[in-house]
Amino acid sequence: MDAPQQMRVGEWQTPRPKAGEVLVRIRAAGICAGDLYIYAGKNPYANYPRIAGHELCGTVEAVGEGVTNSQKGDLVVVEPFIGCGKCYACRVGRSNCCANLGLIGTNLPGGYAEFVVAPAGNIHSVPEGLAPLDASFAEPLAIGVQACRRGDVRSEEYVLILGCGPIGLALIEVAKARGARVVATDISESRLKFARSLGIETIKAAELVDAVRRQTNGEGAAVVIEATGNPKAMEQTVELVASGGRIVIVGLVKQGMNISIPGLDITRKEMTLLGSRASVNCFPEALRLLASGSIRYPKVATRLSMWDAPSVFEKLVKDPASMHKGVLMIE
């Protein structure tokens, strides 16, 4: 991407792995809302020109000096978040919200390419039997794992998920794997229909508040996870959550955009209001979930050629709901 809305296939120097780094030959690279935001010029963390792509699976091509956790030919996924190791967040083990976060595919070269480099600590082996396309879902599923950990989602609990886009679907699958009663909403009927096909209940956005009250005997949801990025939906979480419940905000609002909530509800409900950004230490669990076969979402991915990316992005930015999830492949 040379600039917003300007994407092309071109030549780029093949990177060389420095000490402690791994060079990965890309096989599959998922298309994420974050990539569409970079394309549209709306991702506040991106700079241009940029090779995007951060949901990556490939084979190890070469390793730099001192790398012992992988060798040439291994099928691996790449964790795209690189903490500085020095700031407060990194010091307490939360490098996903590092004050100087490096993001492969956002402010560092990404995997919409034949090769990408990453620190060895960001490389995870793919379990036996998992294909590259399926394994590329480790990154979005890890976001689901992170949000469910933040919200302490437990078995049998009523978990309401706002938004059934690609991240909403990851949240649905992880919360369901944890044994929660998952209910989701979206303004798009086709997205709701697809969410139901994953075996969960859905509510139309217009009926949301009444339906949640009815289904929870007037209590509200134990956990509300926001994955739309819509400020109105974010504000509504306070009304939807039960007393003593948890709200997890995953969706991104535009920089400078404020939301407004009734201040008294924070203490009246003693609600826990949590942000959830990307993921930290969640890839192993995401890969285990994928390998277990309990995650159905990769089965509906649209397989696309990497070299068609410019036309795919042009279409997707106009109609993001036109496919549930696209994955760019080099085969």
From the CB of 297, what's the least distance to Zn ion, in Å? Answer: 13
Nearer to Zn ion, 83 or 298 (CB): 83
Within the chain, where are the H helices?
A: 33-40, 88-91, 132-135, 138-150, 166-177, 189-197, 208-215, 231-240, 263-268, 283-292, 309-318
3-state secondary structure at position 125: strand
- Interior/surface letters 297-309, b for 16+ CB within 10 angstroms, e for the rest: bbeebeebebeeb
Nearer to Zn ion, 211 or 320 (CB): 320
Nearer to Zn ion, 149 or 325 (CB): 325
CA atoms within 13 A on the CB side of 176: 23
From the CB of 84, what's the least distance to Zn ion, in Å? Answer: 4
Chain residues in the site for Zn ion (CB under 5 A)? 32, 34, 55, 83-84, 87, 90, 98
DSSP category for residue 88: H
Nearer to Zn ion, 19 or 84 (CB): 84
From the CB of 8, what's the least distance to Zn ion, in Å? Answer: 22
Nearer to Zn ion, 90 or 180 (CB): 90
From the CB of 293, what's the least distance to Zn ion, in Å? Answer: 22
Identity of the amino acid at 312 = V
Q: In sequence order, what are the beta bridge partners of 25? A: 59, 115
From the CB of 90, what's the least distance to Zn ion, in Å? Answer: 3
Pairing of strands 123-125, 115-119: unpaired
Continuous segment of H or E residues that includes residue 211:
helix 208-215
